[in-house]
Structure 1
Amino acid sequence: MKLTALVDNKRLDNRTDLVVERGLSLHVSSMGRQILFDAGSSKAFCDNAILLNIRIQDVDAVVISHRHHDHCNGVSHFLDSNSKAQIYFRECEKTDYCFKAFGFKSNVGIDKALLDKVKDRSSFVRQTTEIFPNIFVITNLSGKYEQPKGNKYLFTNSGQGCKPDTFDHELLMVIKESDGLIIFTGCAHSGVLNMVETAVELFPNTRIKAVVGGFHLVGVPLFNSIGGTKEDIEAIGQALLSYPIDKLYTGHCTGMKAYGLLKGVLGDRLEYFPTGRSVVI
């Protein structure tokens, strides 16, 4: 597998030509297929793809991890460049998504007009679905572990007032190559440990080559605070060590403070994955 970060909050130091945004978009090339996992919030990932010699028109499928704008609104621009790829969302109730903290409130949800724009090319997934051979979209996520504490600032509103987001709009992607699994988390609002546990339950006794994506260990993004305590973050790192994971590539909503704490536990197993970086897994 070749994996490239088309958009993340940060970029490679030597690639000042690339655009960054608070969002996530990954290009995945595996087993003869090209997958776009998340699409950021703007055209940035498309512009960066050109500079990174990736042809958006050749993408075979788009998988959207959840319905927050920084992962899906860029799909509108994707349609301008690609005429064939199916776009996969998790089936869920129609609602608004918002962030609330310290008296501040903002809309963080998908552009509702986007769903109408992509309706002829959308698939809404209710259960584990093999979209291509050995490429899986998974909706039934484990609840073994606690969800990230930073979720407490995130809500839904379907017309009956704000309620805590249960993240029934979030999915997991797992690619099963001949030598192991690669797990894609998006923001891991359901918890990175729950996502790993889900993959382990579905594919027992299988090596995990990599876990890729954000872990949502940030508290309030503006302040780069951590969700929970230092001990909470380190405990997540220790729990990740108990799984057969070779590498973890993260960024976006993990937060730099939490990343530093995880790095202290996971060492060389954990790497930051900024805009412009490519790895072969």
Structure 2
Amino acid sequence: MKITTLVDNSRLDNRTDLAVERGLSLHIETEKLKILFDMGSGDTFCQNAPLLGIDIKDVDLAVISHRHHDHCNGTADFVAHNSKAKVFLKNCEQKSYHFRAFGFKSDVGINKDLLENSNERLVFVNRTTEIAPNVFVITDISAKHEQPKGNKYLYTQSKNQRERDLFDHELLLVIKEPDGLVIFTGCAHSGVLNMVDTAVTLFPGERIKAVVGGFHLVGLPLFNSIGGTKQDIRELGLTLSQYPIDKLYTGHCTGKKAYSLLKEVLGERLEAMPTGRRINV
């Protein structure tokens, strides 16, 4: 499997030709399929794709991890460049999504026009589904472990009711290959440990070749603070180290400070995935 980061918050030092944004988009190429996992907040991934030797029109299917703009609002650009691929996302009640901190409020949700205007291309998934041979979107994520502390700034608004975002709009992508699993987390608002635990439960005894995506360990993104304490992050790394995971590739909402703390614990098992990075798993 070949994984290319089309969009991340940062880029490879030697690829100044590539654009960045606070978002995530990954191109995944298996033996038989080309998959797009998340699409950032606009057309940046489309701009970067040809510079990385990727043709968006050749993508066979796409998956949206959750309904935050930095992962899904590029869908309008995707369907404009690709005429065939279905876009899979979790079915849930339509709500507004907001970031709130210290009196500041920002809309972080999906563009509602997208849900209406691209409806013939969208596939709303209610349960764990094999969307292609050995490609699984998993909707029921374990709650065994605590969710990221940075979630406390994220809310939903439904009619007149405001509440903390429970992330009932988040899903997990797992691709099964003959030599093991690759887990794609998006932002892992449900908790990267819960996502790994879910995959281990559904595919007992399988080697995990890689976990790829953001872990949402950032607190306030503007200040690159960590969600929780340094010890919380180190303990997370220790718990991850106990799972049968060969490699972890992360970026985006993990945050630079949390990444450094995880690196202390996980060492060479953990690597960054900036825009332009290509991984062979």
TM-score range, shorter chain: over 0.9
Corresponding residue for residue 225 of structure 2: 225
Structure 1 SS opposite 2:214: coil
Aligned length: 281
Deviation at 1:35, TM superposition (A): 0.4
- Report the TM-score, using the length of structure 2 for normalisation: 0.99
Corresponding residue for residue 259 of structure 1: 259
- Are 1:83 and 2:83 matched, yes or no? yes
Superposed CA deviations along residues 159-204 of structure 1, whole A, max 9, x for unmatched, are 2232000000000000000000000000000000000000000000
- Unaligned regions of 5+ residues in structure 1, if any? none
Cα distance in 2, alignment partners of residues 12 and 72 from structure 1: 23
Structure 2 SS opposite 1:5: strand
- Unaligned regions of 5+ residues in structure 2, if any? none
Cα distance in 2, alignment partners of residues 243 and 210 from structure 1: 11
Corresponding residue for residue 30 of structure 2: 30
Structure 2 SS opposite 1:88: strand
Q: RMSD value over aligned CA atoms?
A: 0.5
Corresponding residue for residue 277 of structure 1: 277
Structure 2 SS opposite 1:4: strand
Corresponding residue for residue 234 of structure 1: 234
Cα distance in 1, alignment partners of residues 31 and 165 from structure 2: 35
Corresponding residue for residue 45 of structure 1: 45
Runs of 4+ with >4 A deviation: none
Cα distance in 2, alignment partners of residues 93 and 174 from structure 1: 24
Deviation at 1:80, TM superposition (A): 1.3
Superposed CA deviations along residues 103-132 of structure 1, whole A, max 9, x for unmatched, are 100000000000112100111001110011
Cα distance in 1, alignment partners of residues 20 and 96 from structure 2: 26
The residue type paired with residue 165 of structure 1 is D
Cα distance in 2, alignment partners of residues 180 and 117 from structure 1: 38
Identity across matched positions, percent: 67
- Are 1:55 and 2:55 matched, yes or no? yes
User: How do residues 29-178 of structure 1 correspond to structure 2 at under 5 angstroms?
Assistant: 29-178=29-178
Cα distance in 2, alignment partners of residues 269 and 42 from structure 1: 31
Deviation at 1:31, TM superposition (A): 2.7
Cα distance in 1, alignment partners of residues 103 and 265 from structure 2: 35
Cα distance in 2, alignment partners of residues 247 and 39 from structure 1: 23
The residue type paired with residue 123 of structure 2 is S
